[in-house]
């Protein structure tokens, strides 16, 4: 099958719109909200309303949070037997938005990581009931970071409600979102298979935001610690099936990551592209030209470094597109999602820091956004599974080993 590396024609207007938003709406307020940590960017309300309108009209496929749905009928056969759908459009538009500002993108109403979890795991009734909510996602706990299967937050069925108890940390949009998707275990003795996700509306008795974190980057985005003390949630708010399937294991909950990891890769791809674009421009102003038709060793050292970074960026970009395209065509993409996240997370940090270095004092100061992009990009190599965890997942998939066999 022939592969076209051009942007799908039907998504070009969406990508162009996202780029214009990044340039004209996000970049101008980027430094403002980097300095005003925890202040809500009110300018995003209008932008979120525009995205809602695009999604409702059908003109903005991929403008909202998408999900990886499993076990459904085969996708309709577009020409060539493949589909370019909402997942591909999402990563393409997110990359453009993060060319503007990662923290502001993470602060977008109704576009939280929990929205992708709902889209991935919810049944049809739940997907309809939770349409339009703004959902953060609460996974990490004190002492339970990369090992999501070791979650200690409990959910105990009591009549028609589950009672949640536990503490969640580093919840993106945890204070601003109106719903939180909480990962909890139904029975710790059953391990990974008993972990389910629950949608908890803000204001539910027993749920409280304990504190907001001060961070290195993405300061426009709030990051919260949330406590659950005898928090009662309707049993209908358990996403997907309440049955504990030891054969399926952790697969139901992990389907969320198959979607969110390519999205985080897209954030890194967009932020790194911003740094490359500005650095090329600043080098040109300094008399350093980059010639793609000449060997790197025959050019200025800064030009050679830029060529190497562009090659790394292209690899991350293509892996991101592959993972999203596979999701659209309902092909298992766990391996590719982790590969995309691992590559993009690492090269995103490498590129942004290298761009700071190449631009010297201009890169290190606040006259340009290069130093901010270097700070923002680091989290993209950490959350949704660290670099080390992604490499471990890739190794397991490639070697055909279980988590018990390769730790």
Considering 61, 167, 368, 384, which one is annotated as catalytic? 384
The whole-number average pLDDT for the span 5-24 is 91
Confirm if 200 and 237 have CB atoms less than 8 A apart. Answer: yes
Q: Which residue pairs from 8-11 have beta carbons closer than 8 angstroms and sit at least 24 positions apart in sequence? A: 8/84, 8/88, 10/61, 10/84, 11/61, 11/62, 11/84, 11/88, 11/89, 11/92, 11/93
pLDDT of residue 79: 45
pLDDT of residue 403: 83
pLDDT of residue 372: 98
pLDDT of residue 145: 73
In percent, how much of the chain has pLDDT > 70? 90
Confirm if 100 and 27 have CB atoms less than 8 A apart. Answer: yes
pLDDT of residue 76: 46
Distance CA(1)–CA(102), nearest Å, equals 35
pLDDT bucket at 74, cuts 50 / 70 / 90: very low
DSSP 3-state of 241: coil
pLDDT bucket at 72, cuts 50 / 70 / 90: very low
User: Which carries the bigger pLDDT value, residue 13 or residue 404?
Assistant: 13
pLDDT of residue 255: 73
pLDDT bucket at 405, cuts 50 / 70 / 90: very high
Owner of token pair 């340039």: 23
Nearest CA to 90 out of 395, 386, 390, 321 is that of 321
pLDDT of residue 67: 52
pLDDT in tens, 234-279: 999 999 888 887 655 555 566 778 888 999 999 999 999 999 999 9
User: In this model, does residue 137 exceed pLDDT 60?
Assistant: yes
User: CATH number of the domain at 134-237, please?
Assistant: 2.40.110.10
For the record, the structure tokens of 359 come out as 């631009």
Buried b / exposed e along 206-232 (16+ C-beta atoms within 10 A)? ebebeeeeebebbbbbbbbbbebeebb
Confirm if 18 and 96 have CB atoms less than 8 A apart. Answer: yes
pLDDT of residue 52: 72
The whole-number average pLDDT for the span 386-392 is 94
The whole-number average pLDDT for the span 114-122 is 87
Query: Does 3.40.190.10 match the CATH number of domain 251-399?
Result: no
Query: Does 2.40.50 match the CATH number of domain 9-126?
Result: no
Q: Give the predicted TM-score (pTM) of the model.
A: 0.92
User: Is-catalytic flag, 161?
Assistant: no
Q: Domain-by-domain residue ranges, the chain?
A: 9-126, 134-237, 251-399
Confirm if 370 and 278 have CB atoms less than 8 A apart. Answer: yes
User: Which carries the bigger pLDDT value, residue 139 or residue 71?
Assistant: 139
pLDDT in tens, 15-70: 999 999 999 999 999 999 999 999 999 999 988 887 776 666 555 554 445 555 54
pLDDT bucket at 75, cuts 50 / 70 / 90: very low
> The dihedral of CA 380, 381, 382, 384: what is its sign?
positive
Instruction: Please provide the average confidence, as pLDDT, over all residues in the chain.
Output: 90
Do domains 9-126 and 134-237 share one topology? The answer is: no
pLDDT bucket at 116, cuts 50 / 70 / 90: confident
DSSP one-letter string for 264-319: HHHHHHHHHHHHHHHHHHHHHHTT----TTS-GGGS-HHHHHHHHHHHHHHHHHHH
pLDDT in tens, 307-327: 999 999 999 999 999 999 999
pLDDT of residue 50: 78
Helices (H), 142-250: none
pLDDT of residue 407: 86
pLDDT of residue 316: 98
| Bridge partners for 223 per DSSP | 172
- Chain Cα centroid distance, residue 106: 8
pLDDT of residue 290: 93
Question: In whole angstroms, how far apart are CA 21 and each of 28, 43, 94, 97, 334?
Answer: 10, 12, 11, 7, 31
User: In this model, does residue 393 exceed pLDDT 80?
Assistant: yes
């Amino acid at each position: 099958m022939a592969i076209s590396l051009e942007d799908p024609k039907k998504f070009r207007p969406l990508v162009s719109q996202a780029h214009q938003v990044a340039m004209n709406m996000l970049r101008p307020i980027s430094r403002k909200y980097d300095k005003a940590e925890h202040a809500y960017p009110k300018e995003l309300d209008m932008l979120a309303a525009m995205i809602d309108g695009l999604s409702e009209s059908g003109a903005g496929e991929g403008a909202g949070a998408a999900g990886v749905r499993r076990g459904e009928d085969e996708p309709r056969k577009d020409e060539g037997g493949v589909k370019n759908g909402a997942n591909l459009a999402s990563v393409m538009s997110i990359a453009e938005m993060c060319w503007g500002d990662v923290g502001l993108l993470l602060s977008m109403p109704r576009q939280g990581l929990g929205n992708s979890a709902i889209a991935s795991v919810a049944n049809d009734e739940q997907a309809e009931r939770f349409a339009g909510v703004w959902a953060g996602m609460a996974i990490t706990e004190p002492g339970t970071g990369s090992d999501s299967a070791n979650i200690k937050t409990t959910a105990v069925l009591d009549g028609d409600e589950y009672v949640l108890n536990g503490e969640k940390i580093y919840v993106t949009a945890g204070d601003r979102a109106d719903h939180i998707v909480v990962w909890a275990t139904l029975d710790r003795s059953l391990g990974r298979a008993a972990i389910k996700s629950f949608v908890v509306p803000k204001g539910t008795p027993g749920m409280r935001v304990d504190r907001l974190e001060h961070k290195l980057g993405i300061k426009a985005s709030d990051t919260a610690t949330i406590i659950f003390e005898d928090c009662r949630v309707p049993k209908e708010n358990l996403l997907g099936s309440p049955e504990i399937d030891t054969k399926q294991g952790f697969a139901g909950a992990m389907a969320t990551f198959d979607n969110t990891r390519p999205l985080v890769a897209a954030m890194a791809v967009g932020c790194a592209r911003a740094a490359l674009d500005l650095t090329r421009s600043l080098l040109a102003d300094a008399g350093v030209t980059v010639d793609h038709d000449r060997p790197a060793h025959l050019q200025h050292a800064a030009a050679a470094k830029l060529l190497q970074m562009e090659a790394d960026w292209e690899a991350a970009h293509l892996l991101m597109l592959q993972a999203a395209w596979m999701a659209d065509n309902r092909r298992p993409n766990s391996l590719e999602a982790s590969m995309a996240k691992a590559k993009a997370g690492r090269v995103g940090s490498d590129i942004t820091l290298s761009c700071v270095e190449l631009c010297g004092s201009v890169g290190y100061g606040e006259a340009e956004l290069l130093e901010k992009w270097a700070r923002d990009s680091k989290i993209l190599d950490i959350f949704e599974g660290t670099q080390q965890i992604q490499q471990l997942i890739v190794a397991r998939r490639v070697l055909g080993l279980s988590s018990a066999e390769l730790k």
